[in-house]
Amino acid sequence: MIAIVDYGAGNLSSVKKAFDHLGAQAVVTDQPEILATADKIVLPGVGHFSSLSALEKNGMREALLQATSGGKPFLGICLGMQWLFEGSEECTEISGSGIFPGKCRQFPASVKSPHVGWNSLTIQTSSRLLRDIAQDSFVYYTHSFHAPVLAATSASTEYGLLFSAAVEQENIFGVQFHPEKSGDVGLSILKNFCEVVC
């Protein structure tokens, strides 16, 4: 069973719907104890970095850290990927998990912000999450802050600068784009996550 973490940040039904479409068993939950029984965890999210503060309220943050350090496959989507870093310029009072070093920053003034629409992936390493995804495939983005490129970056995208489109390290996966809104390419990526063994 895949646990989709509900922390009150917008609408999670599209992520659930995508897993339903793939025939995967997924539940949306705000109960930290469910994470212990789940096989895999998805931390979705749209909106403002401050909405991640809701994770602090009921022990969800500890449950997430415990599951990720215990080797359980974890996929962070959009804000959920940004949570994997130390924090974000968007809201400096809230810290991320710090699993990856660095902070999420704003786009340069040379480009419109937010970054909204379909942009292409430059797949950089042999990635389990992006297995069989063609180089330069298009995925859907909507965000104002971006994560830096680092050793764990499995794909990058260019928008005013190069940023981490996807990160991957052992059982931890993150995507800045929305696979649940990226057509067949996105569904293939979610299917890869369903099949990944850590």
Partner 1 sequence: MLTKRIIACLDMDGGRVVKGVRFKNLRDAGDPAECAAAHARNGADEIVLLDITATSGNRNTLLGAVRNTARSLFVPFTVGGGIRQLEDAAAVFDAGADKIAINSAAVRDPSLISKIAARFGSQAVVVAIDARKTDTRFEVFVAGGRVPTGQDAIQCARQAAVCGAGEILLTSMDRDGTQSGFDCTLVRAVAEAVSIPVIASGGAGSAHDFIEVFSDGRADAALAASIFHFGIENIAQLKRELHEASIPVRWPC
Q: Which residues pair with 168 in a beta bridge?
A: 173
User: What letter represents residue 21's amino acid?
Assistant: H
Closest distance to partner 1 from the beta carbon of 72 (Å):
26
Please select the residue that binds partner 1; options are 39, 56, 158, 170, rule is CB under 8 A.
158
User: What strand order describes the sheet that includes 145-146?
Assistant: 87-88, 103-106, 145-146
Which of 62, 143, 180, 194 is labelled catalytic? 180
Closest distance to partner 1 from the beta carbon of 85 (Å):
19
Residue 187 touching partner 1 (CB under 8 A): yes
**Is 33 a residue of the active site?**
no
Structure tokens at 172: 């931890």
Helix, strand or coil for residue 184? Answer: helix
Residue 120 touching partner 1 (CB under 8 A): yes
Nearer to partner 1, 99 or 189 (CB): 189
Q: Are strands 172-175 and 115-120 parallel, antiparallel or unpaired?
A: unpaired
Distance CA 111, CA 193 (A): 32
What track of x and - describes contact with partner 1 for positions 51 through 90 (by CB under 8 A)?
A: ----------------------------------------
Are the beta carbons of 145 and 90 closer than 8 angstroms? yes
**Is 178 a residue of the active site?**
yes
**Is 78 a residue of the active site?**
yes
Identify which of 17, 9, 69 has the alpha carbon closest to the alpha carbon of residue 41. 69
Distance CA 172, CA 181 (A): 21
Closest distance to partner 1 from the beta carbon of 5 (Å):
17
Closest distance to partner 1 from the beta carbon of 77 (Å):
13
Count of residues that bind partner 1 according to CB under 8 A: 35
Helix (H) or strand (E) holding 21: helix 13-21
Distance CA 17, CA 34 (A): 19
Please select the residue that binds partner 1; options are 1, 14, 101, 195, rule is CB under 8 A.
14
The residues that are catalytic are 78, 178, 180
Interface residues toward partner 1, by CB under 8 A: 9-11, 13-14, 17-18, 21, 46-48, 112-120, 138, 140, 142-144, 158-159, 178, 180-184, 186-187
